Structure 1
């Protein structure tokens, strides 16, 4: 039997909890907000609960109409999103350099058709460094929801007919599908982590959890004791998720069950409106944030990106100001766009609404096509800006195909003299790739060659990293040890992985943090070197490159375009302090016969590590060496390794 649900202000309050968690996380307002992205999981539960009630109430009453359902979803969600996308494009036209503006156009296109989660799945690690500069990264969750809204009604209609309206059977089948999606997401979080994070099949269980609760509630009231215990349990689960999360947890995996179950219990607890928790969630401030939660979610990330791109220093005051501005914009959009369109005060006739929406959508797509076909409308800027920006692509692209894949090390990826038998294996991450042009030139000058194998973001140390990285380091070092013609192994890396995220990293498939993580890094690095030496290989370790304070070509372009002057150089003392632990390990390995090469000693001789050398950027970004520097670094390598090639 259907029990039609009255308005529940506590659910708006729960929306407020979810959006505040997300904003605290993205604006980095509090240390506890480091797991605030789980607010999205709570949103999923709320959406699944409400949508299931709408569908099942309609089916039970024989009044559910698929076309009406889709139309109301469009009317509820699309206008505010379209307004934000248009305003963002206008801001980008004024403020963004071509590369970021082009990326905004691509992401706007995919966001407007609710497919950006698929686009991001193929290109972005949500928890990686690059994610922080994606102009519409946050839209992935809206795409997942809309894809769910597209298929879920058809799924329930089919089940309703199959079960002939028997709610118990319907509930049982939905539970089975929910558990299947959860299991798939858990497994895929280790097998295909990007797909698990972004795609509907591995996320549907979170929305279906809310749906299962809706079906349970429809069958009758829950026990009062359970309802009263649900609130404290929800708070404890949410707190546990905030405290227990760390950067190396596979997500969604099993961990997403904590915020999802918390969201379910919050909704259960709201059935008793007299508890302190329900009164808090139903309070005016919480309901206000709940009401504006959708436009606030839409605008907060664009505000963050615009401020991040426009200001040199990322201060707490700037981030808090961004949060305040986001609230103001969200309130205006809620009052002036979302509410009047949703309630029918504006464009009440479906034909006029759909016609205008389709026209605006076509206009947005046309503008996006113009932007990305011109590669970000570079004509907005004078030639000096475009010349400086050209350094962002100044990389040894002829070696990009040498990136490691599951097929193993490719011995046809040769740098140096193509006629020479390769006796050296070059192993590393993206920093090795950036150095490959210099290695190629140095080896050609010596009449020697080497095999190149690198993997982005992977620490080149035995048994280190997760999934693909562990496969890479295992395969590449095994190939080095077991190939007699390889006499020398050169290892180059950013060497930052053991020290990021509080020193947490995976070794032997286990996450270690702090002192234990650093100790294991020492052990694994030494083991890597010793095994190579025992196999008769000479080992060369390349010191890490320093990092400019901002991406250099972009900062110079902004200076030319907008007159901003951002500090770029890094003090040598800061570089030495950053890698003091690493250098101590390298020095210990030198005593075991390892050759060590520094690329920065001469560059930083004055006490400052420069972002410019002879008037040109040292880097294509903030830390990867530009190709035009290859002659300089080739000479450094030749001077350091003259007796080895």
Structure 2
């Protein structure tokens, strides 16, 4: 997404079909031709950005529109390599300073304007809890390392958080990193492969031979190694693999390979070139329509759009650019969209993210399309008054030093403004954080517990400034107020298949009473309360949980796919429980847990999961191990920390009707324990949602959730005593623990 609007060079070689059949072009001519302006490539950009825009507009028909990014990667690899090879063939060297000066003039002006505009929109329209994140993302985007930031943040903890308005900058970061690695590799290989030969053409021929000798093994090395790593990483940990440079370099290398082997590719028959062009376009369309978020990507799947793009570029060589599929790609509207595609890509996503927030967090297709259409206006203005004028500004264009200094100044300006946005929320807003000595929730209660004690939890529906002592954690800190099991890896990520024991024991490791808390992240949310009880009563508590995975004998689902690592973890965990033979097993899961069995409805799949849990509980009971299933945690209609940040003086705006929040998993929980005398249900929902009408975001001076359905660590700790009271009411738990 960087080589948009390439100058229309007059070096394009055009051979008529009859000429090409009788006299193949020379290698020099082909290399020259492949580096000139390609109107079909400009149209291919329109295809790429169109796919991305329709996907981001939330049009489900284009569920694989994200492959437009892969098309851009191939185009960039092809064009950048062509630029580097032409210089290497002409002079025998690559001037890195001049190369990076051109990239700075081309990329940074428009990107900087979008970064600053996004910061302004964030401060004006988004809640303060997003300011810190956007500030960090802006700094990382300005430094072109933001893809690594997103890769590090793709864990389960962030699954419910709204997308960053700068998330699309990850692709620019990958490309810029390629622009650093690839030229340096070529320079190194040129030094290794350069040799002088005595020919009538002199040093120009020598340079051409050296450049080809250097580029061919280099591009194949990058392509093969990165592709193999991409396939591996996508299979073991697909979420971060999507953003990593190392899993994406091969896609740019595919485009680079087309440029490197242009002399051979251009000699293919014209009929084959036309077939390649149409087949390539068909591949991109098929991927756009048939791929989806459940497609493991990039990996093998990315071969479809990348090879399709390469086929279009290859098919258009040797005078075929405006024939075959080129007739479609070179239509004036396609070329115009291609001209502004870089700016269009930059502008559309921040507008979609901000628009989604203003629309209540849900983006319907019609609104998504309207935003996309509207984004054409700032994109055209950016192209017309920023991209072209600044790229061709003579004062910097004719000086490498001034170009690089101007680029550095633009990067610094983004970083400085982003730093201000990052620190502003904590300076501007006290967030009504409760003082340390404030009596919080159940920590103020003693003795036996009854429903009368719920009265101490009911004052939080008031505006924050009317709650005595405020609430804690603050809206800005609530998202990070997470149970301790995450930081030490006791809650296993989706990529892990084995339970963890070491470091996941709390209380007294040699205690006479042993308890195992097992389940998904909702079970992990209860760890703080159980850890407090284990320390107080001297239990040996083992917490073993896994993202989106519960204890069940059936094959479990992860969206539309089989969750194989969950199945392995669940089976191993069950065997570990039998081996440990604890006094009590406690499990709980989000109500969305479901079995994997194609053809079942979601409701049927959830009931089948409950049957699998029932089977496991029954086997544990037969082995003499009593079990407790905790009812599903109430779920809110919004991201609670974000809502608290947006409504600090009106917390009732963050409440969710009780009927919406509670009872979603009651049926499957009852099904799981039905008929089992040594299994019981613990229902804590009245403590989490004490109001009879609505569930509040703040209860007993404590922010309840760190997203829409995971409890904060602080609130979990306040529930320790009420949890003990409920456990004592259960005959199964009471006989096992006391």
In structure 2, the CA distance between the partners of 1:281 and 1:414, relative to structure 1 (3 Å rule), is same
CA contact (8 A) 2:39 2:321 kept: no
Could you tell me how far apart the structure 2 residues matched to 1:454 and 1:353 are?
53
CA contact (8 A) 1:434 1:625 kept: yes
Q: 1:551 matched to which residue of 2?
A: 639
Shift of 1:268: 3.0
Shift of 1:71: 1.2
In structure 2, the CA distance between the partners of 1:526 and 1:238, relative to structure 1 (3 Å rule), is farther
Shift of 1:150: 0.8
Q: 1:489 matched to which residue of 2?
A: 585
Structure 2 residue 258 is matched with structure 1 residue 213: yes
Q: 1:438 matched to which residue of 2?
A: 529
- Equivalent position to 2:390, from 341, 346, 362: 341
Q: 1:454 matched to which residue of 2?
A: 545
- Equivalent position to 2:113, from 60, 65, 83: 83
CA contact (8 A) 1:116 1:143 kept: yes
Q: 1:180 matched to which residue of 2?
A: 225
* Residue aligned with 1:451, SS: strand
Structure 2 residue 226 is matched with structure 1 residue 129: no
Shift of 1:347: 4.2
Could you tell me how far apart the structure 1 residues matched to 2:658 and 2:312 are?
50
Q: 1:228 matched to which residue of 2?
A: 274
Deviates more, 1:159-168 or 1:56-65: 159-168
Q: 1:23 matched to which residue of 2?
A: 53
Could you tell me how far apart the structure 1 residues matched to 2:694 and 2:404 are?
60
* Residue aligned with 2:106, SS: helix
* Residue aligned with 1:137, SS: coil
* Residue aligned with 2:153, SS: coil
Could you tell me how far apart the structure 1 residues matched to 2:261 and 2:156 are?
34
In structure 2, the CA distance between the partners of 1:258 and 1:51, relative to structure 1 (3 Å rule), is same
CA contact (8 A) 1:459 1:495 kept: no
Shift of 1:340: 0.7
Any residues of structure 2 matched to 1:117-516 within 5 Å, and which?
A: 117-124=147-154, 129-130=159-160, 132-164=162-194, 165=209, 167=212, 170-171=215-216, 174-219=219-264, 220-271=266-317, 272-275=320-323, 277-316=325-364, 317-344=366-393, 347-350=396-399, 351-372=401-422, 374=423, 376-381=424-429, 383-384=431-432, 389=475, 392=478, 395=481, 397-401=483-487, 403-404=489-490, 408-410=499-501, 412-415=503-506, 420-442=511-533, 448-461=539-552, 464=556, 466=563, 469=566, 472-484=569-581, 486-498=582-594
Could you tell me how far apart the structure 2 residues matched to 1:307 and 1:564 are?
23
Shift of 1:338: 0.9
Structure number with larger C-alpha Rg:
2
CA contact (8 A) 2:141 2:169 kept: yes
* Residue aligned with 2:638, SS: coil
Any residues of structure 2 matched to 1:613-632 within 5 Å, and which?
A: 613=699, 617-626=703-712, 627-628=714-715, 630-631=718-719, 632=722
Write out per-residue CA displacement over residues 61-115 of structure 1, whole angstroms, 9 at most, x where no aligned residue: 2264222112111111111111211222233233344432111121111111111
Shift of 1:398: 4.4
In structure 2, the CA distance between the partners of 1:469 and 1:337, relative to structure 1 (3 Å rule), is farther
Could you tell me how far apart the structure 2 residues matched to 1:38 and 1:642 are?
56
Any residues of structure 2 matched to 1:478-627 within 5 Å, and which?
A: 478-484=575-581, 486-498=582-594, 521=609, 524-560=612-648, 568-570=655-657, 572=659, 576=663, 579=665, 583-584=667-668, 586-587=670-671, 589-593=673-677, 594-600=679-685, 603=689, 606=692, 609=695, 611=697, 613=699, 617-626=703-712, 627=714
Write out per-residue CA displacement over residues 249-276 of structure 1, whole angstroms, 9 at most, x where no aligned residue: 3221111111111111222343434546
CA contact (8 A) 1:394 1:628 kept: no
CA contact (8 A) 1:13 1:286 kept: yes
Shift of 1:472: 4.2
In structure 2, the CA distance between the partners of 1:56 and 1:523, relative to structure 1 (3 Å rule), is farther
Q: 2:77 matched to which residue of 1?
A: 48
In structure 2, the CA distance between the partners of 1:595 and 1:336, relative to structure 1 (3 Å rule), is same
The alignment covers a number of residue pairs equal to 628
Q: 1:36 matched to which residue of 2?
A: 65
Could you tell me how far apart the structure 1 residues matched to 2:278 and 2:692 are?
60
CA contact (8 A) 2:524 2:545 kept: yes
Residue segments in structure 2 that go unaligned for 5+ positions in a row: 1-26, 195-208, 433-463, 465-469
CA contact (8 A) 1:117 1:199 kept: yes
Residue segments in structure 1 that go unaligned for 5+ positions in a row: none
In structure 2, the CA distance between the partners of 1:328 and 1:469, relative to structure 1 (3 Å rule), is farther
CA contact (8 A) 2:635 2:661 kept: no
Deviates more, 1:158-167 or 1:338-347: 158-167
Shift of 1:217: 2.4
In structure 2, the CA distance between the partners of 1:348 and 1:447, relative to structure 1 (3 Å rule), is closer
**Root-mean-square deviation over aligned CA pairs:** 3.6
Could you tell me how far apart the structure 1 residues matched to 2:68 and 2:697 are?
39
Could you tell me how far apart the structure 2 residues matched to 1:170 and 1:537 are?
66
Shift of 1:559: 2.4
In structure 2, the CA distance between the partners of 1:564 and 1:128, relative to structure 1 (3 Å rule), is closer
Larger helix proportion, structure 1 or 2?
1
Could you tell me how far apart the structure 1 residues matched to 2:623 and 2:172 are?
53
CA contact (8 A) 1:403 1:453 kept: no
Q: Give the TM-score normalised by the residue count of structure 1.
A: 0.86
Could you tell me how far apart the structure 1 residues matched to 2:327 and 2:215 are?
33
* Residue aligned with 1:201, SS: coil
Deviates more, 1:489-498 or 1:68-77: 489-498
In structure 2, the CA distance between the partners of 1:247 and 1:94, relative to structure 1 (3 Å rule), is closer
Shift of 1:623: 0.9
Could you tell me how far apart the structure 1 residues matched to 2:336 and 2:611 are?
54
Shift of 1:206: 0.6
In structure 2, the CA distance between the partners of 1:54 and 1:342, relative to structure 1 (3 Å rule), is same
* Residue aligned with 2:585, SS: strand
In structure 2, the CA distance between the partners of 1:416 and 1:310, relative to structure 1 (3 Å rule), is farther
Could you tell me how far apart the structure 1 residues matched to 2:308 and 2:237 are?
26
CA contact (8 A) 2:476 2:645 kept: no
CA contact (8 A) 1:409 1:475 kept: no
Could you tell me how far apart the structure 2 residues matched to 1:496 and 1:135 are?
28
